Each structure stands twice: as structure tokens, then as C-alpha cells.
Structure 1
Amino acid sequence: MSLPNLDKQLAEIVQQEEQLQFSRFTNEMALEIGMLLYAEAKKSGSAVTIDISRNGQCLFHYEMEGTSKDNAEWIRRKNNVVNRFYRSSYYVGTRLRSQGTTMEEKYAISTVEFAAHGGAFPLRMKGAGVIGTITVSGLPQKEDHDLVVRVLRDYLQAH
């Protein structure tokens, strides 16, 4: 992908992160969003692992048939990216690609612990910042990211 396309993609991701914020976030909301992610993945015939955590506490975790322990490991590593940079894992990976570098080169952090691949989205509270993560693993990275964004957008518009 060319640099102008990556810059456009980065701007789009920033806009998503700014728009998709919560004024409050409860355990019940995590359950609702988790089930919406599940239903959306199932509807498209996809197999994903879904994880929603707030301040280090897992509020929702489900591994659909067809996923493996590797998906949970990807979630852990993607969540580490969000928790370190307070940006979506897709943003961080796209930004690194636009700069022609890697996490190991730029930040001296291991890909064993961090995965700058799409799917982990910051759970952002208005006035408080990032308080957790909403993450999907099992699809190509852009599709993981887009699934989370689509479900969050629909959920926030309905509430």
C-alpha cells in the first residue's frame, strides 16, 4: 500500500477512535457488545475469539468453534499494544508500516509480547481516556478491526 493510502487509512482510524467513545461502561454493556460481536461473526460464517477487558479485568471472553488457543494469544499481544500506546493495534501497525519500520526496531519491544495487527480497539471513556480493550482475533487484521468498529458504531448509535 502506498504512503498516501496509509496516511488516509491512519486518518480514518484516528477518526474512528475519536468517535467511538463511551460516557459510561458497565459489565452488562460488555456482555451486550460481546454478544453483538459474536452474532455478527456468526452471521458472516466467521470463527473468532472475542475479548472485552476493562482496567485489566476480563468482562467478556468467548472462543467460537474453529478458533484455537493461538487466537487468545493474539488477543493478549494485541491488547498489550493498546495498553501501551492507547491506540488501536491496527493504527499502531499501520503507522509502523507507513514509517517503514517494526515495533522491535522503533520501540525495542518483542513481538512475543506485542502484536501491532488489527483487532484490538481502545475502550475509551469520555473524559477519562483508555480504560480497556475490545478485541477480536481470527480474521485478516483489517477485518478484525472493521468488525469491532462496525459493532461499536451500531451499539453507540442505538444507545
Structure 2
Amino acid sequence: MPPVQPFENAVQTHGPTVLRVCRAVLGAGPDADDAWSETFLAALRAWPDLPPGTNVQAWLVRVARNKSIDIVRATARQAIPADALPDAARSHDPQATDVWQAVARLPQRQREAVAYHYFGGLPHTETAEVTGSSPAAVRRAAADGIAALRRTLSTDDPTPSARTPAKASR
């Protein structure tokens, strides 16, 4: 038996409260609006099974909090592109500087695949989620990127560590 009030009334009555919760977690902007929408989409799906006597406002606030945290987590996993390396990442070692410059010259898909998988330690499946690609495409881009780095950075030193970044564990 669904709650006494129709779903439309719950949206009108509790919508402003849900938006305040989303904005408190995410700040004003499109992310808060998205969390508000996701909250009410999830609520609409669960509405028919909501037990009678449920405190609808408290339930919606909890759903809004969870949806907002989902957006925070998703945003935290996305890299922010930059034109130059931050000062902390710069090195006085000429070989390290060459690596960063070579990575920066890779095509975007290869650069992202190498950065997320090899430098960030993400598995190909998570790298695919972050980049909006398939795991197979990420594997290929990462392999092509590493091959390009090997060609660019090849030296007389036969040790692989001198030519390529260390691969992170999966």
C-alpha cells in the first residue's frame, strides 16, 4: 500500500528541502540540480513499495544525501585536464621531464589511458568508465600510448624501467 499522499504532492512539499540538502553537499549549480532529479527518480521507482507511516521527508533527505554523495564520488574520480604540470609534479631530472613532455604529446585518448591506468593505477574497466569508452578501446589506447612512449624515449639503456613508466598493480 503506497503512502497516503500522491507522489506529486511529495515533490511539491519536500522538493525545496531536498534541493537544500543537495546544495549543502554539492554547492549551488548543475550537480545539485542533477542530485535533486536523481533523488526524485529513485523516489518515484520506490514510491509504490514505501511502507505506510514512513516519514517521507526524512526518507527523501536520506535519498538526496546518498545521491549527492554519489555525485561527489564520481566527480572525485575524474581528472581535470591541465595545460601544464603543477609545480609539485615538475622534476629537475631531465629524464623525468622528457617523460612528462612525451606523455603530453600523446593523442588525448592515449594520454588519458596511460595516465589513468599506468600513473593512476586504475584497471582498464574503471579507466573506461572515467573516459566514457570501452575497456577494449582503453587497452588498445594504453598499449599504443606506451609503444609511442617507448619509441620517443628509447635510449641505449636496455632496462625497461629507463624507457617506460612502472605499471601499477591492477
Q: TM-score range, shorter-chain basis?
A: under 0.3
Q: Where is the strand percentage greater, Structure 1 or Structure 2?
A: 1
Bigger Rg, structure 1 or 2: 2
* TM superposition score normalised by structure 2: 0.24
Q: Where is the helix percentage greater, Structure 1 or Structure 2?
A: 2
* TM superposition score normalised by structure 1: 0.25
